[in-house]
């Protein structure tokens, strides 16, 4: 009977530790998400790239994948030459952490963009999946892969009936 009580107590303590770590991981990932949203809204390509792992991959719609921080930064600098951001909101739908150092998040986004050449405004909504890894040295969460796409049809595409 005493062994059962000890095992039960250990199980409760372990469960509490895991719950505490999950809460810390969720909060750290939320902070990373907010940093991405802030850097994107400000079109700060350097800060966006810093949120990715050194070998991170960003897979934007209608463009080749950007591999590594330098390519991710270059992509965002090029994007800013074509579009001016007038705000972005990221809304996570689900977040799952595995083994304490790997996670994925699924959600949606809204952004308002203005074409640099014409001044035309585009209100865009879409969805994303982000893969994350906790850096072993620093303990910081970093994006390893990001893919997102718009719910809007491509410009010039016929409207759905």
| Mean pLDDT, contiguous 10-residue spans, the chain (161 residues) | 52 46 85 96 97 98 96 97 94 94 97 95 96 95 97 76 64
Comparing CA positions, the residue from 148, 117, 112, 157 lying closest to residue 130 is: 148
* pLDDT for residue 2: 61
Question: Domains in the chain, ordered, with CATH?
Answer: 2-150 (3.10.450.50)
* pLDDT for residue 12: 46
Structure-token pair, residue 106: 């699924």
* pLDDT for residue 156: 72
* pLDDT for residue 23: 78
* pLDDT for residue 154: 80
Cα 119 → chain centroid:
28
* pLDDT for residue 17: 42
Comparing CA positions, the residue from 140, 35, 132 lying closest to residue 88 is: 35
**Could you tell me where the DSSP H helices lie in 65-155?**
69-82
d(CA 24, CA 148): 26
* pLDDT for residue 16: 44
d(CA 88, CA 3): 55
């Amino acid at each position: 009977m005493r062994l059962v009580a000890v095992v039960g107590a250990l199980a409760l303590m372990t469960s509490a530790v895991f719950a505490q770590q999950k809460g810390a991981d969720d909060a750290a990932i939320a902070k990373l998400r907010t940093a991405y949203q802030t850097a994107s809204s400000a079109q700060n390509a350097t800060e966006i790239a810093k949120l990715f792992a050194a070998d991170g991959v960003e897979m934007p719609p209608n463009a080749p994948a950007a591999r590594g921080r330098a390519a991710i930064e270059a992509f965002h600098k090029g994007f800013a030459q074509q579009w001016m951001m007038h705000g972005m909101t990221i809304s996570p739908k689900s977040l799952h952490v595995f083994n304490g150092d790997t996670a994925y998040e699924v959600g949606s986004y809204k952004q308002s963009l203005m074409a640099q050449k014409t001044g035309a405004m585009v209100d865009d909504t879409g969805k994303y999946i982000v893969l994350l890894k906790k850096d072993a040295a620093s303990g910081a969460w970093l994006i390893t892969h990001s893919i997102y796409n718009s719910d809007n049809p491509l410009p010039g595409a016929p409207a759905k009936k």
